[in-house]
Amino acid sequence: MSNDWAWRIPSILQAASSVIQLLLCWCIEESPRWLVAKDRIESAHALITKYHAAGNPEDPIVALEIAEIREALRLETEAAKTTSYLTFFKTAGNRHRFFIILAVGFFSQWSGNGLISYYLTLILDSIGYESEATQTLINALLQIWSLIWGVAFALVVNRFGRRVMFLTSTVGILLVYIVWTALEATYEKETELNGQGSPGVAKGVLAMIFLYNFFFSIGWAPLQVTYVVEILPYNLRARGLVLYNLFVALALIFNQYVNPVGVTNSKWKYYVTYDVWLFVELVVVYFLFVETGGKSLEETAALLDGEAMTEKLQENAKQAAEEITVHVFDEKRRQSQA
């Protein structure tokens, strides 16, 4: 296709997903934290009953979760009077959150995925796949492959936990990149000596690209935004997401201007920088990332703020749980008698 529809069709197809999201967002339930913040306790009670208590309104977990949310909101409201971006540097827990956001923002774009996403053509050219039709086919298969595994791993994230999936993903892509670097170097050296690299080595590089996307789909693809939200308390959530998007944008600027120069001029040696960087990522993930799976947002917030905050939240929540239960059932009785 040689006319303007060559770029219009891909653009329209990308816009289609946004239209679907816009239509489906009206079907999403309100957050129980937002409902409690708006003093809509009955609605929050019904929502938690439906999703966390298997439809049993008398389950103690319902009253306890609402009490935890109210207590967390109370503590955050007290702190909100002085909340700003500087709040991220005032306590050890918030500094921990900031560095996790920084890591997720940059690592999500600097894990080598920028090369595949934006400069796949240069990579395929370097291993002898120069046909436009072949490159289009490989790109299409790669996107379908990534979609399948991204959805699959998103569905099992609660079974394995966030930390485990991040670590597995990072270890996997590090090992893949090491093998990829070796194969790329072999192919380029063969080309220098013989005028053409081995087709088997080229296929090995191609296999590493698909294997890379498999491992990236385990953790970094489905979890990056979700994880940032889970580690942030109510009063810092909006600012935290702004910072996350800022770090992503800065990482993308690097990808846009540095990666093509590195791939073109340094060739296989440029991949070595990613081997080293991915090892750094693995160390950071291992020591910095906490497990948020199976915990409420309030419990995760308390986890990052230390044992004292955890104990305070749990104690106050338990004291408030009975009061919440009585309030909800009194309201239901009043409505049934009306």
Quick one: average pLDDT of 253-279?
A: 90
Q: Which of 65-79, 80-94, 152-166, 185-199 has the lowest mean pLDDT?
A: 65-79
- If you search the block for the tokens 């194969």, which residue do you land on? 183
* Residue 161 CB burial class (10 angstroms; 0-12, 13-18, ≥19): middle
Signed CA dihedral, 62, 290, 225, 305: sign only: positive
Residue 316 confidence (pLDDT): 58
Q: Give dist(CA 43, CA 19) in Å, integer.
A: 29
Q: Which of 29-38, 206-215, 318-327 has the lowest mean pLDDT?
A: 318-327
Is the model more confident about 202 or about 52? 202
Residue 176 confidence (pLDDT): 96
Is the model more confident about 236 or about 278? 278
Q: What is the pLDDT of residues 293-317, one digit of tens each?
A: 887 766 777 778 876 566 665 565 5
> Which domains can be identified in the chain, with CATH numbers?
31-81+306-338 (no CATH), 90-295 (1.20.1250.20)
